[in-house]
Amino acid sequence: MRLIHYTIGTKIESILQDGFIATSPKKPAYGEIPLVWLSTNEEYEMTARKVARASNGEDILLSVAQMEEHGSGIYRFVFEVEPTENKLFQDWQYIRNKCGVSSALRRRLIERARNVGADENEWWGHINKPLPVVDAKLERRVEDDNGNVIWVPIEVDGLKVKTKGYPSMTVEEMAQHGFQMDLDSTWKNG
């Protein structure tokens, strides 16, 4: 089975330097088990879209095109796994019932999924531990000459991320586009 973690280019370097994808949330609520979110969706997991703060203070969900432009590209780590042999990989039904996710958070996750056309039945998690990327395939989202989205394998040795964990535009440029970003450690890995 292929399980996929989608992310943006500004996070690739720190993930590769760390050698793993960090769990979320970083500070789980009492009884909540942190996990690395994965998906079986081969095209793109729409709930992996990022949120930015507009100049009016409102949080907005970035489009895939905005994430591509301001996040230095869209990438994915593809893991070939057999969940029945590795109990750290669990599906959404397990996560929602056994990982201490509050009913309020479950409702918010499902509502967001429905709002962006995602299917929670495609969600998986790597439970309670960071997920090593040593055996994952790294791919980048690109469009071919006909405008079709394809995923191109990336050789890690040749990977060039133009930023070091920061957006590829200045704060002034982002403000011109109506965005504000809080560049703290939450932007480093994930």
Which residues of the chain fall short of a pLDDT of 70? Answer: 157-190
Residue 108 lies in a domain: yes
What is d(CA 129, CA 99) in angstroms, rounded to the nearest whole number? 13
Tokens at 134, concatenated: 């040593």
pLDDT score recorded for residue 152: 95
pLDDT score recorded for residue 101: 86
Residue 188 lies in a domain: no
pLDDT tens digits along 138-162: 999 999 999 999 999 998 764 443 3
**Is 103:115 a contact under the CB 8 Å cutoff?**
no
pLDDT score recorded for residue 187: 45
Burial class (CB in 10 A: 0-12, 13-18, 19+), 97: exposed
DSSP H/E element including 90: strand 89-91
Determine the structural domain holding residue 31 and report its residue range: 2-183
Q: What is the pTM of this model?
A: 0.77
Nearest to 187 by CA among 36, 5, 13, 2: 13
Residue 190 lies in a domain: no
Instruction: State yes or no: cis peptide before 25, omega within 30 of 0.
Output: yes
Residue 86 lies in a domain: yes
What is d(CA 190, CA 20) in angstroms, rounded to the nearest whole number? 9
pLDDT score recorded for residue 178: 53
Residue 167 lies in a domain: yes
Residue 43 lies in a domain: yes
3-state SS assignment for residue 148: coil
Q: How many domains does the chain have?
A: 1
